Structure 1
Amino acid sequence: MTDQDRTERSPWADAVLAATLFAVDPAGIVGIAMRSLPGFARERWLATLKSLLPPDAPVRRLPLHISDSRLLGGLDLAATLRAGRPIAERGILAETDGGVLLVAMAERVSAGTAARLAAVLDNGGVVIERDGIAIDTPTRFGIVALDEGMTDDEQPPTALADRLAFRLNFEGVSAEPPAEDAPTADDVAAARARLAAVTAPDDVIEALCGTALSLGVWSIRAPLLALAVARAHAALAGRSEIAKEDAAVAARLVLAPRATRLPLPPPEEEPPPPDEQQQDDQPPPDGKNEEQQNVEDRPLEDMILEAAKAAIPAGILEQLRLAGRIKPRQPSAGRAGHLQKTKLRGRPAGVRRGEPRSGGARLNVVETLRAAAPWQPLRRRERAMSGQGERSARVEVRKDDFRITRFKQRTETATIFVVDASGSAALHRLAEAKGAVELLLAECYVRRDQVAMVSFRGKAAELLLPPTRSLVRAKRNLAGLPGGGGTPLACGLDLAIALGDQIRRKGQTPFVILLTDGSANIARDGSPGRPKAEEDALASARALRAAGITALLVDTAPHPRPLARKIAAEMDAMYLPLPYADAAAISGAVKAVSPPRESLAG
């Protein structure tokens, strides 16, 4: 496929093609990850997909906070209480056998739910043994994960996204009228009937694997999914064997969105000798021109790789390099706050055995009855053997049956800005640093996070602003920040560590943003001297790492300094040199490297 062919295909046409191939083989292709907010284009695409599926194919929606018993199956509480013996119920995954599972808000799916989905997809069925019942139900289905994330940080869990063949982006995509040659439901049904007879040549399999390696796609599932897509495309075209066109489409739709690097250019060949060059100038005996002959003589892997390269957006290499350089260190920490267990607030996180009176914990009535239900026949026999007679209550609940709901929530985050206000910083980038802090303060205000501000200059550091939510007060203190004097970097870090410890004692999560040019020249005791000052700064950086505080160091020097990079390494912090960036660039970079913020249910 040439670049001209790619430009002729709109994102909507590729999305419809993906839906068509998915309808041919939902279980083999596994699924589609679609990044899109609710809107007309998405609903139109979903309607197109449903029209291509078999009429009897079940389509189920996965609730965001679904319980394990409803997801996988378990004890049917009502039927068990009526029958007096354990009765099993089918979960939503078993009910979706042969159909499609719609996962709304896939970016908020918990890691546990994603792991259970992945296990069912890999095993081809649901296998559970608990509550006195055993369930072994084969089920094969496809998944449409609707990613409604607002930022790049919000993504579906890797365990789920890695198993889905297609990755579509509907941002800015408009629905188009159906093409005249668009496949119909009858065409898809015919392709579904031919699918089992489609074979895959060895050279196609090797070419798909080689293309994946050239694009930096390390997951073994990617070429397997690409092979399933190529087989579905061949069946749709009426072929009994995968052709190069089918493999090219699979590489473009499956491998290109997963690319982490651009393939290396081919090595330059030495010019042939003059006598061979004269022979090459002669026309080929079959009458074909040189371009046609080169196209036919090219290896299959090169043609597939060219199709995948044509689908990679422009500028992706720079984005991948930036993402690799500023990858967050701790996804569970940072500005989103640490995850902690609570008794009464936050998101439900399962149940445990316990008594409701312990610390105000909440009794989960349904799970308590579910724990008691399998034991009712035995308890009735125990009462009869002991001569206690029948009880009026239909369900006998004992102390061991009590189940307590567990909750989890993110702690509030306090962002500590540590600003270098020394003479060197004032000469270089203090104005830009102030502008970046103001932009970040506005973002913290929107998230209702607390902010604090520490500055260091002269011979000491001072707390300009204790943790607060007052944006006006923070801006006022920042505007009056003077510049000049030495650079007591160790004092600034020591004060940030002490403030972070106070914040943590309040149940909050500290996050340090250090803006400095890295030219430490004042020691911790206030004495001048660059060697002693640098030694103290490195010791303070190690102390901040030992305190477990997530940090980011923004090097504001005109040219990145080795000491600033070394301090960031000792802090175990993210390092971001911005020699020519303005305030907006600093703010954007800090937001990019900050760990993702998770939205929690009340």
Structure 2
Amino acid sequence: MSNPLADALLAARLLACDAKLGGMVLRGGGPARDLVLEALRGLLPPGTPFRRLPGHIDDDRLSGGTDIAASLATGTLVLQRGLLAEVAGGVLVVPMAERLRIDVAGRVAQAMDNDGAFRLILLDDGADGDDRPPLALMERVAFDLNLGFVRPADLKMALPEPAMASGAMLESEAMSALAATATALGVSSLCPLLHAAGAARTHAALAGRESAEMLDLEAATRLVLAPRATQLPPDPEQSPPPPPEPERPESEREQNEGDEDDTPPEIPEDLLIEAARAMIPPDVLDLIAKGRAQRSARGGGQGRKTGSAMRGKPLGARPGMPGGGVRMALVDTLRAAIPWQPLRRREPASEGAGPIRFRRDDLRVRRFEERATAVTLFCVDASGSAAMSRLAEAKGAVELILAQAYVKRAEVALIAFRGKQAELLLPPTRSLTRAKRALAELPGGGGTPLASGIALARQLADAVASRGRTPMLVFLTDGSANIAADGSPGRPQANADALSAARGVASAGLDAVVIDISPRPRPEAARVAEAMRARYIPLPFADAKALKTAITLAAQPERKWA
């Protein structure tokens, strides 16, 4: 495993030499991240702009526009220069980039595509499973580096010295090797491949080489492609052998022998792909092993984002009429009206007109984005002789989920099905005391009315969704039903009713996961999950921690990496 801080300092050196690499994402790190920023500042020429992007910045301060205070004071239109223009040719640092508004990210991305663009540093403070910086920005930066594995002893590492490097050549064979490596790692976007090519050329130029060699391609793969891997490269031992080359006439072989010394050495694609396997960072390997190489658009345990007129994360203002709970954005309204004042003052003033003349089209209203409360509905099979062990797992999983409730704004509910019907033991709550009391009083034994449990879970999920919350259904069962929906015994009818109820969950579009907790994975549970269009997870000997991890991962919708 390579040293993450050394890789980050090397990325800073490459970025200082080639602004076309766009920038980098620095995830975690604390003092290590400050050290990388200090190194980048020292590698750039003195006087290079080095600015931070405030999280509350408005459109005019970002892109330039009307200076409200100066315009009101002078009575004339006064324009101001935007932050994106001030930082041209320099470095723009974005703290807490995982929370950056989409509209601000779009303006920053547009400015990066213009001439005289800046280097972008995205500081990602999100934990595992949380939001990542906007995709539009991650596509425009070459490096995605995780400094969470930096050791304290590494902080004494010497900073790199400034250097100048002119671009080196990248032969077509080297480019083909990089493209094959990107394909083997599951990197579907073309932007990382182009950034990897640029990093390889700059790395070769810093080493004094005229063209990129294997060492340069390995560095580009380690810094650019490996952190974006979504799959492990295929094992070369399992790959079919290449077809034999057709034999050439002896005269042709003798004619080409003299030209072999002048041909540049080919880059071995298989060797670079094999090296890429060892370059994938540990956190990426862990996600690939869990089948979660696709990063989530929202963190586990959090609800969907919805528009709101009153509270939540502020978004850009839009034209509209205040009223009905919608509040006016005063500053944005002034900003829209001031440029028109010279023309409006030439018109006859109406009675009671003030110093600033407004029109209906000037009005702007506030917008917010609110994240709905997530509710995890545990539906536990409490039947049979193995109920006690299953309930113990459910108790531990519920308590672990509740421990995160105050941070993730999550709630839990508990449904148990046993005997002839299902029962709601715990309505949606964040109260750990109520959850423990309900779990302690949960008895076990009897038949398995799986259809009744699924039907009650769907009914509760519909009620949760109607209140603007996001339900997530978690079924802990072996899928072996023996009580039909009407309470009568019989496995054939019970299984048919269970599949019918599962298809109802699928038609409602509810997110669900079926955890098979039988000693051996059973086809019945897999069929229920398939009918429900839910994720199927066989965990025959899972403890509470394993259940909690599986539920958290299953609750995350897929989104491609940048």
- TM-score range (shorter-chain normalised) is 0.7 to 0.9
Correspondence list, 1:70-219, <5 A: 70-78=61-69, 88-121=79-112, 124-125=113-114, 138-173=115-150, 174=152, 175-179=154-158, 183-185=160-162, 188=163, 190-191=164-165, 194-195=166-167, 198-219=168-189
What's the CA shift string for 1:542-585, capped at 9, x where partnerless? Answer: 22233343222211112222232222233232222212222211
Q: Does 1:368 align with 2:316?
A: no
Sort the Cα spacing of 1:534 and 1:425 in 2 relative to 1 into closer, same or farther, 3 A.
farther
- Give the whole-Å Cα distance in 1 for the aligned partners of 2:32 and 2:301: 34
1:524-558 deviation line (CA, Å, top 9, x unaligned) = 10011222112211221222233343222211112
Q: Is contact 1:354–1:404 with CA below 8 Å preserved after alignment?
A: yes
After superposition, the Cα gap between the structure-2 partners of 1:210 and 1:16, relative to the gap in structure 1 and judged at 3 Å, is same
* 8 Å Cα contact 1:421/1:457 also seen in 2: yes
In structure 2, how many angstroms separate the alpha carbons of the residues matched to 1:359 and 1:375? Answer: 28
More moved, 82-91 vs 169-178: 82-91
Listed as ranges, the gaps of 5+ residues in structure 2 are 242-263, 558-562
- AA aligned opposite 2:155: E
Equivalent residue letter for 1:407:
F
Matched-pair contact (CA < 8 Å) for 2:185–2:233: yes
Note the C-alpha offset of 1:233. Answer: 1.3
Aligned to 2:18: 25
Partner of residue 317, structure 2: 351
Matched residue type, 2:506: R
1:311 corresponds to? 279
- The code of the aligned residue for 2:18 comes to D
Deviations 1:93-125 (A, max 9, x none): 22221111101111112333333333333xx32
SS at match of 1:32: strand
Amino acid at match of 1:366: V
The separation in 2 between residues aligned to 1:69 and 1:52, in whole angstroms, is 31
Specify the SS of the correspondent of 2:399: helix
Q: Is the 8 A contact 1:326 1:593 kept in 2?
A: no
Among 12, 16, 21, the alignment partner of 2:9 is 16
The letter of the residue matching 2:333 is T
Tell me if the contact between 1:251 and 1:305 (Cα under 8 Å) persists in the aligned partners: no
Q: Distance in 1 between matches of 2:47 and 2:424?
A: 67
Q: 2:209 aligns with which of 239, 254, 257?
A: 239
**Secondary structure of 2:88's match?**
coil
Pair 1:410-2:371 in alignment: yes
After TM superposition, give the deviation of residue 162 of structure 1 in Å: 2.8
Mapped pair 1:339 → 2:294: no
CA distance in 1, matches of 2:294, 2:358: 54
Contact 1:333/1:550 (CA < 8 Å) preserved in 2?
no
Q: How many Å separate the matches in 1 of 2:295 and 2:125?
A: 22
Gaps of 5+ in 1: 1-6, 126-137, 271-295, 597-602
Distance across 2 between alignment mates of 1:536 and 1:14: 57
Question: Cα gap change, 1:82/1:441 in structure 2, threshold over 3 Å: closer, same or farther?
Answer: closer
Evaluate the alpha carbon distance shift between residue 555 and residue 86 of structure 1 in structure 2; reply closer, same or farther with a 3 A threshold: farther
Distance 1:308 1:239 in 2: 22
* Equivalent in the alignment of 2:560: none
What letter corresponds to residue 312 of structure 1 in structure 2? I
> In structure 1, what is the Cα distance between the partners aligned to 2:418 and 2:157?
66
Secondary structure of residue in 2 paired with 1:17: helix
Task: Tell me which amino acid in the other structure corresponds to 1:589.
Answer: A
Among residues 477, 480, 497, which one is paired with 1:536 in the alignment?
497
- Normalised to the residue count of structure 1, the TM-score between the two structures is 0.81
Aligned pairs for 1:514-533 (under 5 A) are 514-533=475-494
- Report the number of matched residues: 532
Aligned to 1:61: 52
Distance in 1 between residues matched to 2:495 and 2:293, nearest whole Å:
25
Instruction: Tell me the amino acid that sits aligned with residue 143 of structure 2.
Output: F
Instruction: Decide whether the 8 Å contact of 2:53 with 2:95 is kept in 1.
Output: yes
1:548–1:19 CA distance, 2 compared to 1 (3 A): same
CA contact (8 A) 2:129 2:298 kept: no
On the 8 A contact 2:231/2:293 being kept in 1, the answer is no
User: Are 2:240 and 1:263 aligned?
Assistant: no
Deviations 1:149-199 (A, max 9, x none): 1223332223322332112111141343344xx6422xx2x22xx23xx32
Letter in 2 for 1:109: L
Q: For 1:378-431, what per-residue CA distance to the aligned partner results, in whole angstroms no more than 9, with x for missing partners? A: 211222xxxx59998432123332221122212223322111101165277343
Note closer, same or farther for the CA distance 1:527–1:338 as it changes in structure 2 (3 Å cut).
same
Whether the 8 Å CA contact 1:489–1:520 is kept in 2: the answer is yes
Greater shift in the superposed pair: 65-74 or 401-410:
65-74
Q: TM-score, normalised by structure 2?
A: 0.86
Q: Look up the equivalent residue of 2:554 and give its one-letter code.
A: V
Amino acid at match of 2:172: D
SS in 2 for 1:323: coil
Deviation of residue 350 (structure 1)? 2.3
What SS does the aligned partner of 1:176 have?
Answer: helix
Once the two structures are superposed, the pairs formed by residues 455-494 of structure 1 within 5 Å of their partners are: 455-494=416-455
Aligned position for 1:429: 390
Q: Classify 1:255/1:60 alpha carbon distance in 2 versus 1 (closer, same or farther; 3 Å).
A: same
Distance 1:563 1:333, change over 3 A: farther
Name the CA distance, whole Å, in 2 between partners of 1:318 and 1:43: 26
Give, in angstroms, the shift of residue 297 of structure 1.
Answer: 7.8
Q: Which moved more, 1:567-576 or 1:310-319?
A: 310-319
SS in 2 for 1:461: strand
Aligned partners of 2:391 and 2:201: how far apart in 1? Answer: 59
Sequence identity of aligned pairs in percent? 49
Secondary structure at the counterpart of residue 429 of structure 1: helix
Structure 2 residue 525 is matched with structure 1 residue 555: no
Quick one: distance in 2 between partners of 1:445 and 1:82?
47
Q: 1:153 to 1:298 in 2, by over 3 A?
A: same
The yes-or-no answer on 1:395 pairing with 2:356 is yes
Alignment match, 2:414: 453
Whole-angstrom distance in 2 between the partners of 1:111 and 1:399: 27
